[in-house]
């Protein structure tokens, strides 16, 4: 069984995209992260040492999303998942969703979303 800790709709202004306008002006991105881990120890102990520090995860999301640049939202999602794995050893995996609500295209639609799911084994 895997438990989930969800961080929903983290909003950043960033400069990802293939078009020059996106790279110069930037745009809004919305990011959801589901952390897959065993939450039972924290639930029993009520001790923050037994879970993941979600403020550190939020800082990581903001850093990767705003300090690096990607052409594709798929690459941003993959970079987020890789950094989560690297920096938080207790995770069994993560689901990362990246939304671009207003892509610069000539058709009106509600935006696009990429979702990736990664599972890790203990080393």
- Which tokens belong to 95? 């689901």
- Who's near 26: CB < 8 A, 6+ residues apart? 13, 14, 15
Phi, psi of 64 (to 5 degrees): -65, -40
Residue in 16, 97, 99, 100 annotated catalytic: 100
Q: How many whole angstroms separate alpha carbon 109 and alpha carbon 34?
A: 26
116 annotated active-site = no
Active site residues: 100
């Amino acid at each position: 069984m895997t438990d989930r800790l969800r961080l929903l709709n983290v909003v950043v202004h960033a400069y990802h995209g293939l078009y020059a306008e996106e790279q110069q002006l930037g745009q809004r991105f919305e990011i959801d992260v589901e952390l897959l881990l065993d939450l039972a120890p924290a639930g029993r102990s009520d001790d923050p040492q037994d879970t993941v520090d979600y403020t550190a995860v939020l800082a990581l999301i903001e850093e990767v999303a705003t300090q690096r640049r990607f052409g594709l939202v798929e690459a941003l999602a993959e970079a987020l998942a890789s950094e989560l794995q690297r920096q938080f050893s207790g995770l069994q995996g993560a689901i990362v969703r990246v939304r671009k609500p207003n892509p610069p295209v000539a058709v009106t639609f509600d935006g696009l979303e990429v979702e990736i799911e990664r599972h890790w084994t203990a080393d």
